[in-house]
Structure 1
């Protein structure tokens, strides 16, 4: 669970910070191995870069490389924070007297970081290639022409559903947990719940007794259900609409 929670939390943050990563990548590649003043500066500063990319490449370009970025964050932070969390919960970071050992803590953190960076490096390379892609008039650095999915592929819709699902499950899982427990609680003869008075009471009791992670129980199952559920719902809706219009003409 430590691995999953760490990875999903990092992915949630990545959805909002990836545009800054796109800007950072392009500004770092601008003027590569060229003396100042000998090249055209397409991006003068962060705000100008945002405006230029959105104007020339379109607003969607600010989320270029999001799919590998999410996978990278999930692997790197899942491994890094998850490994450190396991070491902490197993008691390795503490001495026999029960005090935190700075040496063990630093060594564990370094080892976990190296593992995460090593396994995530190939994905980071793909992410960088995709984020550097730009229209010719604002292109910087070498332009790789990777294409993850063919245009109009069902994989595009599935990937979009899985990416948007991160924000959805982070926002909705606590309410889903509360809803499940409200429906499942025992009742008295009048049908009144014996454990929770309502959704707010269920949320408060869960957070107070089980901690913040208790409110996110089942988040992995919720996430991997949401993406396929969304794409299948849209697929069946589209097919039924097609059949309806075909046979009602």
Structure 2
């Protein structure tokens, strides 16, 4: 008897692509969700970086955290949260959206899976764009987080991120919003070259070792990515923080910060605050990618009606 089965019935249904605008939206949302969890570590890291330790004793992460908690309570550990959320709404929206967009172009026109160099190149482009877009919020964030260590008479006492942005323009000038733009962009390029490229490659590696698409794969790849990113970006993050928080033009640029800190405080001071930075960047990397993957899968399956869950990056 002839087979009456319709060959079209077993053919896989075409998968609808996620709109580019939604890729940017999901990237920003993932970054904002992650920031809510790791903000205290970012505050501690910033306080440690802006404090000079030349000739004095260096406070540990725990000592800084205890000091903040003693003086300001739990709210002190979330100082600048509004600026952190705005930063992610600009920075992560741009960088993750652009990286997803470039990945899609590469898969469609070059090869299904990007090479290491291709991933690094896309990370540099996405990170540079995201860092430039997010610089004003970054300046406000650094100042709000560092305010508590200043004498009461010298504190800026910004009410929230929007008050900070308005006062910076009014009291200084528009260009002050882009103070530290060069080291911020350089850090963004290094962070995203390392973070996004290594995440993509670690996913491919772990997948080839038998770890299937899902949360365990996302966590494993993002943990490795977060560690590598911490080591690579810490000195540039130090320079960025010092420049954005300075009041009297203490530094002329990124290289000047790195040289002065290394000479006056020791080379290892370039990694000052590394523990809270890792506890901030590591979990933030993990949470950002996990949120992004889950948001992407939810949108793909429940909004677009696709059969396959797919992958966010």
**TM-score, normalization: structure 1?**
0.52
Q: Would the alpha carbon gap of residues 70 and 215 (structure 1) be closer, same or farther in structure 2, given more than 3 Å must change?
A: farther
8 Å contact kept, 1:68–1:124:
yes
- Determine the structure 2 residue equivalent to 1:35: 54
Q: Would the alpha carbon gap of residues 88 and 35 (structure 1) be closer, same or farther in structure 2, given more than 3 Å must change?
A: closer
Q: Would the alpha carbon gap of residues 16 and 217 (structure 1) be closer, same or farther in structure 2, given more than 3 Å must change?
A: farther
C-alpha displacement of 1:97: 5.6
Equivalents in 2 of 1:85, 1:45: separation in Å? 38
**1:145 aligned onto 2:153:** no
Q: How many residues align?
A: 149
8 Å contact kept, 1:5–1:78:
yes
Equivalents in 2 of 1:100, 1:216: separation in Å? 27
CA RMSD of aligned residues (A): 3.0
C-alpha displacement of 1:24: 0.7
Q: Would the alpha carbon gap of residues 216 and 110 (structure 1) be closer, same or farther in structure 2, given more than 3 Å must change?
A: farther
Equivalents in 2 of 1:44, 1:95: separation in Å? 52
Q: Which runs of no fewer than 5 residues in structure 2 stay unpaired?
A: 1-21, 164-295, 305-313
- Determine the structure 1 residue equivalent to 2:37: 16
8 Å contact kept, 2:31–2:89:
yes
Q: Would the alpha carbon gap of residues 99 and 35 (structure 1) be closer, same or farther in structure 2, given more than 3 Å must change?
A: closer
Task: Answer 1 or 2: which has greater helix percent.
Answer: 2
Alignment of 1:1-249 (within 5 A): 1-31=22-52, 35-37=54-56, 44-90=59-105, 92-93=106-107, 96=110, 98-134=112-148, 143-148=155-160, 211-214=297-300, 217=303
C-alpha displacement of 1:15: 0.8
3-state SS of 1:69 partner: helix
